[in-house]
């Protein structure tokens, strides 16, 4: 059972659409690790692992994700019938679903935008991180995709690489707690997974581009061994960032950290 924000009162369990199953844990190392274990044991499409806190939360590029009680930590097992090259599209499906869920609950004081690849920003500061992991079958199809999401509701790191914030700090109402956000997220995910399955990536990409920061502007992209500067030209048909250099050449970026260029 999940504890409430103070760690005392039990929180009410969210009501999810019938297609979803929920595994609610008080504390876990990493919901992604737990979801992965369950996926390997055959967990169904749309199984959600939700934890009140994580003791070994993981971020992108091997970083850790500090996970005290009060925020929303979850991982979703997805079993899309798609090619591995299309799996990254699901992180945009999840990003749009979460962005819409937050936007509908957080009120007008919180402007929700996206930062490539899948960060959700609250008034320009990082409020959500997504971690996508996947496995393919020997036949070259996707076996499972795990989408891990950490949303800063009560807490945020003061010393993050990119300025961070929480929904509470930005003025979200007290009614927005992990259980209510999870419930709305599942509703939105059902919608956006359906859009993706029936109409492809185009509509998801369009929805993501409506809220993205920095499109058409000068950005710096930090890669493990180099830093590139150019204009954020577009998002390609699989979700990669197209960086346009001053001389008109372009480069397709599939992983990296994006910063606005001052």
DSSP string, 57-74: -B-GGG-B--B-BTBEEE
**Binding status of residue 130 toward ligand BTN by CB under 6 A:** yes
Nearest to 74 by CA among 37, 34, 45: 34
Closest distance of CB 171 from ligand BTN, Å: 23
Of the pair 62, 140, the CB lying nearest ligand BTN is at: 62
**Binding status of residue 57 toward ligand BTN by CB under 6 A:** yes
Burial of residue 69 (number of CB atoms within 10 Å: 0-12, 13-18, 19+): buried
* 56/45 Cα distance (integer angstroms): 25
Q: Which residue is closest to ligand BTN by CB?
A: 129
Closest distance of CB 200 from ligand BTN, Å: 26
Q: Which of 46, 110, 132, 149 binds ligand BTN (CB under 6 A)?
A: 149
Region from 69-77, 183-191, 230-238, 243-251 binding ligand BTN, contact rule CB under 6 A: 69-77
Of the pair 75, 231, the CB lying nearest ligand BTN is at: 75
Closest distance of CB 41 from ligand BTN, Å: 18
3-42 residues in contact with ligand BTN (CB under 6 A) are 30-32
Q: Which of 36, 38, 58, 93 binds ligand BTN (CB under 6 A)?
A: 58
* 55/196 Cα distance (integer angstroms): 33
Give strand ranges (E) for the chain. Answer: 21-28, 47-54, 72-78, 112-115, 119-122, 125-136, 142-151, 218-222, 227-235, 241-244, 250-253, 257-260
Binding mask 150-189 for ligand BTN (x = CB under 6 A): x---------------------------------------
**Binding status of residue 76 toward ligand BTN by CB under 6 A:** no
Say which residue the tokens 């590139």 belong to: 228
**Residues 6+ away with beta carbon under 8 Å from 105:** 172, 173, 175, 176, 180, 181, 184
Rounding to the nearest 10 degrees, give the CA dihedral for residues 138, 139, 144, 145: 100
The phi, psi pair for 81, rounded to 5°, reads -90, 85
Of the pair 130, 219, the CB lying nearest ligand BTN is at: 130
Of the pair 80, 127, the CB lying nearest ligand BTN is at: 127
Closest distance of CB 251 from ligand BTN, Å: 22
Chain positions contacting ligand BTN, by CB under 6 A:
30-32, 54, 57-60, 63, 65, 73-75, 129-131, 148-150
């Amino acid at each position: 059972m999940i504890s409430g924000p103070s760690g005392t009162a039990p929180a009410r369990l969210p009501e999810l659409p019938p297609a979803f199953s929920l595994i609610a844990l008080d504390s876990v190392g990493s919901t992604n690790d737990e979801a992965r274990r369950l996926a390997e044991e055959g967990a169904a499409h749309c199984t959600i692992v939700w934890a009140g806190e994580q003791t070994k939360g993981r971020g992108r590029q091997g970083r850790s994700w500090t996970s005290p009680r009060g925020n929303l930590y979850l991982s979703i097992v997805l079993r899309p019938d798609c090619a591995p090259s299309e799996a990254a599209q699901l992180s945009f499906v999840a990003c749009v679903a979460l962005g819409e869920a937050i936007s509908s609950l957080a009120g007008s004081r919180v402007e929700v935008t996206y930062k490539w690849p899948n960060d959700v920003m609250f008034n320009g500061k990082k409020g959500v991180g997504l971690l996508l992991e996947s496995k393919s079958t020997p036949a070259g199809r996707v076996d499972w995709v795990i989408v891990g999401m950490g949303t800063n509701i009560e807490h945020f790191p003061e010393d993050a690489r990119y300025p961070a914030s929480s929904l509470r700090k930005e003025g979200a109402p007290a009614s927005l707690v992990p259980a209510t956000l999870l419930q709305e997220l599942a509703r939105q995910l059902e919608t956006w997974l359906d859009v993706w399955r029936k109409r492809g990536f185009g509509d998801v990409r369009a929805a993501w581009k409506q809220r993205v920061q920095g499109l058409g502007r000068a950005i710096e992209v930090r890669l493990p061994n180099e830093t590139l500067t150019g204009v954020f030209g577009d998002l390609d048909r699989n979700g990669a960032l197209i960086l346009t250099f001053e001389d008109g050449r372009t480069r397709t970026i599939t992983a990296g950290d994006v910063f606005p260029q001052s």
